Structure formats: structure tokens, C-alpha cells
Chain A
Amino acid sequence: MDEEINKTFEAFNTHLVKEQDKREEIRNVVRELEQTGREIMTVLNAIHQGSGIKEVSQICKRSRELFQTVKSKIEQLAALFPADEYYRFHDHWRYCIQRLAFSASLIVYLESERLATREEVAEFLGVTVKKSDGFHIDLEDFLHGLLSLGNELSRLAVNSVTAGDYSRPIRIAAFMGELNSGFRLLNLKNDSLRKRFDGLKYDIKKIEEVVYDISIRGLRPTAQDVKEPSMEETPAQEEK
């Protein structure tokens, strides 16, 4: 009986050690992936600079190139474990993939001013969208990425005004409205995604204020300068 118990625990111990090694391998690849993700973000951050806003297409091109590295890293990652054990190690790359999904959707937005679909983002990362097809992008991770996009765009709205681009905040505002109504369709559980979504309204408020500011100063670029009464609902205007 003694040996039997010992054998059981020895086997379990071996199992643990093996698992530990595998996780270490995964962590290493994820670390490299994170590095690339940071590089992409650095490139994309140039849009906030006064000059950067004018060369958006260049910035997007450069960051798209970096996504080639991401693809190869993810391929490497996917080869480390059987496809049906994705969720066993999910925690290791969850955050990283969220950031990458954010970068990808930001690129799509900058290029065509619309919301990236999950398929597009998956294409960027070189993964699939369906669980059954191997390494995929988890829906919640993708949605996390979109919420980060909302956050980034509220910053971009402010900075584009500083850079003298008065039409962009208005377009961003419209976009955010759509994003928000999309998210309101979801029945979120009380988890991290829900918390992030709750933060979206502050981003929207911020953009509203920007739109308000440029509107009352007659900075709106188009001819449609009709003042909209619903604007008066914006409570905080002491921004400037």
C-alpha cells in the first residue's frame, strides 16, 4: 500500500514538472509576443503627435509589417500544445492577445474609419475565429480589444483637435456611438469585460465634450453648423 501511494504521487509529481516546463516554454514565446506588441503600440502612438496625424497611412503600413512577426510568433505558440488545450494555458497569452486585438482594430479604424470585425482581427494575428479550428481568438479577448480602442480614440479626439483637425472628433463620436450601441446588445456577466465596458461611457463623455467645445466655438468644419439642443445635456463643460 505504501508503494502504491508513493507511485501515485510520483506520477503526479512528474506530471506537474512536465506541465511546469511546458508553461515555461509558453511564457517565453508570449514574452516575445508581448515585445512585438509593444513595438506595434509604439509605432501607432505616433498618431497622437501633431505631425503624425497627417501620415496615418504610413504609420499603419509600418505597424502592419510588424504584424508579420506576430503571426510567426503565434504560429510558434500554437505549435507548443495540442489545439484542444487552448483554454488550459489561455491565461498566459490572454492579456497579450487583447492588446494585439486592440492594435489591429486601431489600424483598421485609422485606415477605413470603421469597426474591425473579429475575422479581420484574427486575420491580422494569423489565427482563426472558430474554436474548432485550432488557435483562435477568444471572443471576450476580442471585445476587450475593442474597448481599449474606445479608450484610445477618446485620446485621439483630444489630440487631433490640438493638431488642428476639427473634423476627426466628430467622426470619432459617431463611431463610438455605434460601438456603444453594439456593446449594449451584449448580455455581459459581472466580469472584467463588464467592468471595462462600464468605463466606455467616460470615453464617450470625453469625446462629447470635445465635440461640444469645437461646436460652440464655430470650429466645426462643415457647413451644417446648426446647433443641436441635446448638446446642452452635457453636464461638464468646464474643460477649457
Chain B
Amino acid sequence: MADFETKGWNRDGKRDRGPYKRNRKGDRSNHPKQKKDEEGCLENVELTPTLLAFKEYQSELDLKHDKYERLVKVSRDITIESKRIIFLLHRIDGDSDKVLTEAETRLKSLEDTLISKVASELKGEDLHQFIRAFSPGLQEYIEAVSFYLFIKNGRLLSLDEIATRLTFSLKDDIKQVENKEAENADGVTGQPEASDSTEIPDPQDPQDPLVESKCGSDQRTLSLKLPPLEYMLGLADFTGELMRMCINIIGSGDLERPFQLVDFMRNVNRGFQQLGNVAGREMVRKSSVMRQSLKKMEDACYVIKVRGSEIPKHMLKDVAFSSDFSTRDDDYGQEMMD
């Protein structure tokens, strides 16, 4: 008995897929590639308890991997659309209302399609199990939303606001989009999210907005609860956009706004500095990129201050970058401009 099993195992262990293939297809040599075949053959082989157990493990692993892959895909789509929205926002000069309206519409539809898909994928799951799959997309999205809200209101996006945006009503999706568009057409400014919060129960405890979150839902709503760390990482990305916007503004000849932007940026930077390195390696890396961005902005402001009156406005941008700091590693800014 033992001997017989040893035999089977020997061939089994030695040449991949050997015994099963031969059982069915005579002496065909074994190609490493034909996985399907092998599985089919295994089903014909007597199923021991072990193999039955592994079948179960197989389906469970497959289920998990599939979900992961789907999330990666959605995340990539979110990234692409968010990047486009950011580019759109960078095109603002003069006619800001129209661009802002368009950005809002696109953000809304991004939330209603792709991000709600993430939320429904994660329904009843542990969000942290899959966070690596969708975190890039989510951060890019936060970058876009915070950039949009900054341009619109001059404020930093708060975690509460984003939590409200990431709560989806299951039935009223379409209606909400329409509401939003109507609102924007009327030129209503302020917090567009406020209209949502009346009809959707706010899942967050107002006292403690940083209550750690997971994916939850009731019958009517579905929400993607954002880990604060992801939110912060998204904000760190947003400062890169801020820098780029600042430089563009100098190019367009506005000599007031850059100083406001630098002020704002300094505040944000201070916030990030005080976090230290407890927030993880990714955060440390982003903080140092942010410091570079801030330095670029400060240098630009310096040039405006010192030479602004001497140089024609349309040349300021070139001058601001031809000075001593042009040698500095400009990769980040370059990347954003591409």
C-alpha cells in the first residue's frame, strides 16, 4: 500500500502534472503550460479529503484574487479620471465658473460610477484587506477633490466633507446628480455637500471625525469609509498641484495670488512637519516632496518681490525659473506638467 502510493507520488513530484496527463492522453509529453488540462484531469482522479479541502481553498483564493484585480482596475480608472479633472482645473484662467461646473459634474459622476463601485465591492469586507488595491486611485481622487474645493472656496478639504461625498444613496444616485447640476447652474457656491448630508445619515461621529472607518452600509446608503491616512496622503499630493498652480499664475501675470498660495502652503506644510515619521514611510517621502514644492514657490515669490517691478510680466515666469534654483531636482514639477 505504502509502496503503491510512493510510486504515484514519485512520478507526481518529479515531473509536474505527469501522472494525470498520461492517464488521459497516453504518453503525451508534459508541457508546463497546460493548466486547464491538468485541472480537468484532476477531477477524474479520485478526490481524497486533502484534494477536496484544497478545492475549497482554491475557490476561496480565486474569489479574493478576483476581487483584488477588479479593485485594481477600478482604481486605475479612478486615477485616470482624477488626473484629467486636475488638468482641467489647471486650465482655469478668467472663466472659472464654467470650468468649476464641469469639474464638479465630472467629480460627481466619478463618485457615482467608479467610486461607488469600489464601495459596493467592499461591502461587508474588511477594507484594509484590499487597501493596497485601490489606495492609489483613492489618493488621486482626494487630490482632485481637494484641489477643486481649494480653487472654489480657498479651503482645505476636511475629512468630514470627503466622508459625505463618499456616502452613496443606493437608489437616488441619479437624482442627486441632477440636483447638483441644477445647483451649479444656479451659481450656488458654498458647500455643495451640505445638500447631501440632509438626506443621508452621517455615519461619522461629529465629535471625533477621525474615528477609524471601515466599509459600512444600511439599506439606503452605501459608504466608503476613508482611512485618515489615505486622506492625508491625498492632501500631500494636492500640495504638488498647488505649487504648479502658483507657477502658472505667475506666468499669467498675477502678482498677488502667489503670495496667498505660499501662505496657505506654509500652513499645510507646517501641519505635515509636525506629524513626524510616525505616519509611515510613504508620508515621510511625500512630506519631503512637499518641502521642495514649497521651496520652489517661495523662491518664485522672492523673484517677484525683488525683480517684479523690473521685468515685463509675461517674462516673469521664465525669470523665476532661470535663477539659482533652476539646477535643483525638478522632477516632481516636471512630472506634473507632462
Interface residues, chain A, CB within 8 Å of chain B? 1-2, 4-6, 8-9, 11-17, 19-20, 84-88, 90, 114-115, 117-118, 131-132, 139-140, 143, 167, 170-171, 173-174, 176-189, 201, 204-205, 208, 211, 220, 222, 224, 226, 228, 230-231, 233-234
Contacts and interface: CB of A to CB of B under 8 A. Distances in A.
Nearest to B235: A8
Contact of B159 (A8, A16, A173, A187): A8
B51 A6 contact: no
A86 B126 contact: yes
A185 B155 contact: no
Contact of A174 (B2, B14, B57): B2
B107 interface: no
A185 B51 contact: yes
B119 to A, nearest CB: 15
Given A8-B159, A185-B42, A17 B278 contact: yes
Contacts of A180: 9, 12-13
A213 to B, nearest CB: 13
A233 B209 CA distance: 66
A234 B50 CA distance: 26
B7 A230 contact: yes
Nearest to B279: A16
Nearest to B158: A8
Contacts of A85: 126, 128, 212, 214
A7 B110 CA distance: 29
A201 B61 CA distance: 22
Contact of B272 (A1, A9, A86): A9
Contact of B57 (A19, A139, A170, A222): A139
B201 interface: no
A20 B126 contact: no
Nearest to A20: B278
Given A85-B126, A185-B58, A5 B267 contact: yes
A13 B232 CA distance: 11
B148 to A, nearest CB: 17
Contacts of A115: 49-50, 53
Contact of A211 (B6, B11, B268): B6
Given A15-B210, A167-B2, A185-B39, A176 B274 contact: no
A174 B212 CA distance: 49
A173 B12 CA distance: 11
A230 B14 contact: yes
Contacts of A118: 53, 57
B73 to A, nearest CB: 15
Contact of B42 (A16, A177, A181, A189): A181
Contacts of A188: 61
B30 interface: no
B3 A224 contact: yes
B50 A179 contact: yes
Nearest to B15: A233
Interface in B1-51: 2-3, 5-17, 38-39, 42, 48-51
A8 B9 contact: no
Most A Cβ at <10 Å: residue of B38, B158, B209, B271: B271
B62 interface: yes
B288 to A, nearest CB: 17
B129 interface: yes
B272 to A, nearest CB: 7
B56 to A, nearest CB: 9
B6 A173 contact: yes
A186 B14 contact: no
8 contacts: A12-B271, A13-B274, A115-B53, A185-B51, A185-B55, A222-B3, A224-B2, A230-B7
A11 B209 CA distance: 8
Contacts of A8: 156, 158-159, 271
